[in-house]
Structure 1
Amino acid sequence: MMNRLACWMMGLALVGGQGLEAAPPIQIRLDVRAGKHDRKQTPLVASVALPISRIAASEVVLTDARGKRLPAQLTAPSLLDSKNRHAELHWILPGLKANSSTHFTAEIRARSQADRKVRGGFSWRDAPGRHTDVMHGDRPVVRYMYKAYENDPAKRDLDNKPFHHVFDPAGTRLLTKGTGGLYTHHQGLFYGFTRCTFPGGKCNTWYCHEGEHELHREVLAEEAGTVLARHRTAIDWNDLKGKPFCREHRELAVFAVGGGTLIEWSSRLWSVRGTVTLDGDAQHAGFQFRADDEVAKRQSEKLVYYLRPDGKGEPGATRNPVKGKGPEDPANKPMVNMPWNVMSFVLGPQRYSAVYIDSPRNPKPSFASERAYGRFGGWFGKRTLVEGKQPIDLVYRVWVQRGEMTAADANRLSADVSDPPRVAVSNVKPAGKKPAKKKRAGKNSPLRQVADDPTLPRVLLIGDSISIGYTLPLRAALKGQANVHRPSANCGPTTRGISQLDKWLGSGAWDVIHFNWGLHDLKYLGTDGKSLADPKSPGSRQQVPIQQYEKNLRQLVARLKQTGATLVWRSTTPVPEGAKGRVVGDAVKYNAVATRVMKDNGIVTDDMYAFAKARLKEIQRPANVHFTRDGSRALAGHAAGIIRKTIDPRTGLRTTISEVIRLLERKDHAAVLKRVVPPEQLKQILKRQTFEQLVEGFSTTKAARLLAVLRSIKDVGPKLDSTGRVATFTLVEPVGGKKAIVLKKIGRFWFISN
């Protein structure tokens, strides 16, 4: 998909953590009261005391009052509740009579890496550059159309706004209209206004006939599970010259309920160009649903009818507000603030019903509109947006099903929005005596987990007590250059690594993993299999024989490679004369095996064995595999040098800025473009021009301008968003019409994004 790089480079007229240890389970009780309405297949949500960062590493087990397990799903907060910093728990209430109550019990616990894939339920399937589908199993449910707009007069009506198609609940066909047909600008679930005014111009995002358009920029979030699928997208509302005057975050969720398709559509729209006025009328503004063009072609058959809260309309007949008259006018009152409206229509031999459900959260008064050719929706009057002030927030639900609907069904669906069930969350205390408090690592302990600076790369150390010894001085050596983490435990032999590695890796992304196993594998144990033993004593054996060590190491390396991090193997340090439970020279043998494994996997080696061997008497304790305090500092200094060379500058915000400055000063403009423009965005740009043309255009004046901007922010602190992956630097003077430069971390790397 097209990335949101509208791009700082274009703005310059470029031409173009989480802690590693698993948290204890969270046990909660969820008390649900139906209120004054009967409930049936009602989506429920509750905020739970789980940090957003732990969602991917957690699973939830939900049971009802009878102990029956029900599907449940953890998600990040929805668009309009994004100030919440905790996870949301979603599930479907099968049924509950009015004025009654029930309860559920949930346990949220860590799960292994192997269990993190969704089994069953929803998924997303993308056709790059065109559309992405919500799938439920093999059945398509909703399709998001996001093909990039082409400013060609012959093509302006084809892809002038992103929208959502809705499939038949059986997935056999689309129910909504795309481009073409009667009124090509009506497309699926869509949003726009006929009169948009702003400093310097005006345009029409309803018709989009003159070059104005809504442009998909990127997918901000995408979730799928057994209860819902949801995504959030970034969309620019562009004027006739293709410059944004508003920006929008649009979110769509689909719920796993039977009998039809339940959709929740929401939007947050704000000004990026002073004072913007959005206006139109009920028939030509707001959020709308347009059925397939077959409905329009069969208007003469009068197959469409509307079911409203005050009764069923005649086939082929519609009711609409009178333009120019207010909400209090008797002619308009029946269509003002309608909680729901049902359109029943026919495609082929099949009749369908679609329900448009308004929310009390939406601006009021609202005006409903109907068309016999298959479009209906709502508008909420003229609105003014001021840059930096309150956005327009909207949320609607849409239900589609085969066959006809009753008013009772529509009322029930509407009540789930206007007067939802009440959910109360409380903690469940486990029976029996209180568990012993886990001993916490001291303030200056190397085992204490550290808070991330989100602008820096993340480094994970995996190792035994040797690495524990150099953890603190290594953190000090890399302060301001990297976040250095380690498990809050001795990582021991390879056998412990196999059982604990998923927990140590957690769910966060790692840029570099510096790892070792060896000294615990080659040590000798007594007949009890636990105590350190003299290698010469009868019955003693190595904890992990060298052949098994190689097998284990290959398994661990395969898992580490799945992280996508840059891996650095740290060789095992020497065993000195007199060291208990170990044999001099065994480290060399085990290192030889490890070298073979790393060579086979293309992994760099930090030869700490050679570094330590050259100065062993100065840094190692006598007859002991451990090192003195100064020795651990020396090992840390050695490892810091290796890690610095290994870190890709693009993984850190500061290092990205410094690296781009360096390349600009060298006038290596081709390398600059490859560093700051995301690959997918670069592909799109190169469809319009050659890379050489892009570099030439950038080199003339834009490179110098970017260099000046980056030098000005090099030592300035950015404003970070809640994820820590979007950094905004306010500029002292606007450049290219922009007051700020924004960098975004996409995957492991930072790119310029605005």
Structure 2
Amino acid sequence: MKPTALILLALALNATAFDITVEEKNRVDVSNGGKVVARLMMANDLSTPEKHHETYKPYLHVFDASGATRLTKGPGFNFTHHRGIFLGFSKISYGGKSYDRWHMKGGDQVVTKITPGDSSFTASINWQGDTSEPFLTEERRLTFTTPAKPFYLGIDMTSAIKTVSGEAEMSGDPEHAGAQFRPSELVDIKTTTYIFPGENIDAHKAKDLPWAAEVFTVEGKTFTVVILNHPDNPKDTATSAYRDYGRFGMFPKGKATAEAPFKLHYQWLVAEGDVRDASVFQQAWNAFAGKNEPVPVLTIKGSEQPKPKKEK
């Protein structure tokens, strides 16, 4: 049996059924052994400006294995639009106009339907234009697994974004677009560390990295999260992984039409503790991608603070 097949078999043997509980127009809880390990926040409350601000986009919270510690950030605090695991683009060209569905200026991402599955669910999402009517529609499927150790949670996301008509160009920049993970507002910014496959990797310049990992500390507990970039994703994908507050992820660009969706596929693996094992990360990616690539050397880097903005 080939190594990749062995890895896939090991992952299958470690599979656990997750319970999916839908609270209509509010949230979806994902539980393992009675413990909530992930939660989709999907309310869209227009009753007050404050409530609207809190609920203008869906995002996925992640918890530790006990369900007691929230690893991810919600609204408010530094960069309020950074929320859990989320997807957005700051520059979407459509119909001669430009839309920002990262900072959520002038329109929301609204979940219209949840379809539960086996340890998974699919969220149907309207990306609003200038009005409450959508110019994009998305089918975002989230599947939850118990991966091989040291990881306790796997989150697989596939996304297909279509236009209602015509063509849209999805773009932005590595810090303001793509599929992202944002740690809690309680993250210890002094200890955030990033790990990349390869020697002397510069996340500001590298393209099409198969994976990137982050080690961070929240409420005195250390966690490792790795994002796996599927080889079918758009080429020339940038990796944003350097900030001290821990927001990191992948930034692809591409086009969407009603007939040809803009498709993305990522997976996040979450471990408690500090994981810096190249073989663990590479084996996870090989299983995800159906490849048998060798274990790389690692580039391990401390975080950066954002450069201060110049006063006008």
TM-score in terms of structure 2 length: 0.85
Contact residue 171 and residue 252 of structure 2 kept, 8 A: no
Distance 1:352 1:306 in 2: 12
Q: 1:38 to 1:230 in 2, by over 3 A?
A: same
Q: Please state how far the C-alpha of 1:385 moved relative to its aligned partner.
A: 2.1
Contact residue 4 and residue 287 of structure 2 kept, 8 A: no
Distance 1:312 1:217 in 2: 44
Contact residue 222 and residue 231 of structure 1 kept, 8 A: yes
Contact residue 20 and residue 121 of structure 2 kept, 8 A: no
Q: 1:149 to 1:279 in 2, by over 3 A?
A: farther
Q: Please state how far the C-alpha of 1:93 moved relative to its aligned partner.
A: 6.6
Aligned pairs (5 A) from 1:325-344: 332=205, 335-344=206-215
1:162 is matched with 58
Distance 2:260 2:183 in 1: 33
Question: Of residues 79, 96, 104 in structure 2, which corresponds to 1:183?
Answer: 79
Contact residue 249 and residue 268 of structure 1 kept, 8 A: yes
Contact residue 27 and residue 42 of structure 2 kept, 8 A: yes
Larger radius of gyration: 1
SS in 2 for 1:417: helix
1:404 is matched with 274
2:100 is matched with 204
SS in 1 for 2:288: helix
1:241 is matched with 131
1:379 is matched with 251
Q: Please state how far the C-alpha of 1:122 moved relative to its aligned partner.
A: 2.2
More strand by share: 2
Distance 1:218 1:309 in 2: 38
Distance 2:238 2:78 in 1: 23
Contact residue 199 and residue 273 of structure 1 kept, 8 A: no
Is the counterpart of residue 223 in structure 1 residue 144 in structure 2? Answer: no
Q: Match for 2:23: what amino acid? A: A
Question: Of residues 184, 196, 216 in structure 2, which corresponds to 1:308?
Answer: 196
Q: Match for 1:303: what amino acid? A: T
Q: 1:93 to 1:320 in 2, by over 3 A?
A: closer
Is the counterpart of residue 416 in structure 1 residue 287 in structure 2? Answer: yes
1:92 is matched with 13
Contact residue 366 and residue 380 of structure 1 kept, 8 A: yes
Q: Which runs of 5+ in 2 are unaligned?
A: 293-312
Q: Match for 1:222: what amino acid? A: P
SS in 2 for 1:194: strand
Q: 1:40 to 1:266 in 2, by over 3 A?
A: closer
Q: Please state how far the C-alpha of 1:40 moved relative to its aligned partner.
A: 7.3
Contact residue 246 and residue 271 of structure 1 kept, 8 A: yes
Distance 1:420 1:320 in 2: 23
Q: 1:92 to 1:361 in 2, by over 3 A?
A: farther
Q: 1:355 to 1:198 in 2, by over 3 A?
A: same
2:109 is matched with 214
RMSD: 2.3
Aligned pairs (5 A) from 1:42-441: 42-43=10-11, 91-92=12-13, 121-150=17-46, 153-199=49-95, 201-208=97-104, 210-219=105-114, 221-224=115-118, 229-257=119-147, 259=150, 260-295=152-187, 298-299=188-189, 302-310=190-198, 319-321=202-204, 332=205, 335-370=206-241, 371-381=243-253, 383-386=254-257, 388-405=258-275, 406-419=277-290
Contact residue 14 and residue 146 of structure 2 kept, 8 A: no
SS in 1 for 2:101: coil
Distance 2:269 2:199 in 1: 19
Name the % identity.
26
Q: Match for 1:350: what amino acid? A: K
More helix by share: 1
Q: 1:395 to 1:36 in 2, by over 3 A?
A: closer
Q: 1:166 to 1:42 in 2, by over 3 A?
A: farther
Q: Please state how far the C-alpha of 1:308 moved relative to its aligned partner.
A: 0.9
SS in 2 for 1:261: strand
Q: Which runs of 5+ in 1 are unaligned?
A: 1-32, 44-90, 95-119, 314-318, 322-331, 422-754
Contact residue 237 and residue 252 of structure 2 kept, 8 A: yes
Distance 2:80 2:53 in 1: 7
SS in 2 for 1:409: helix
Q: Match for 1:399: what amino acid? A: L
Contact residue 196 and residue 211 of structure 2 kept, 8 A: yes
Q: Match for 1:195: what amino acid? A: K
Aligned pairs (5 A) from 1:719-734: none
Contact residue 202 and residue 239 of structure 1 kept, 8 A: no
Distance 1:35 1:397 in 2: 20
Q: 1:239 to 1:308 in 2, by over 3 A?
A: same
Q: Deviations over 1:81-140 (max 9, x none)?
A: xxxxxxxxxx4379xxxxxxxxxxxxxxxxxxxxxxxxx942122334321101112111
Q: 1:414 to 1:153 in 2, by over 3 A?
A: same
Q: 1:141 to 1:34 in 2, by over 3 A?
A: farther
Q: Please state how far the C-alpha of 1:346 moved relative to its aligned partner.
A: 0.3
Contact residue 8 and residue 287 of structure 2 kept, 8 A: no
Q: 1:36 to 1:266 in 2, by over 3 A?
A: closer
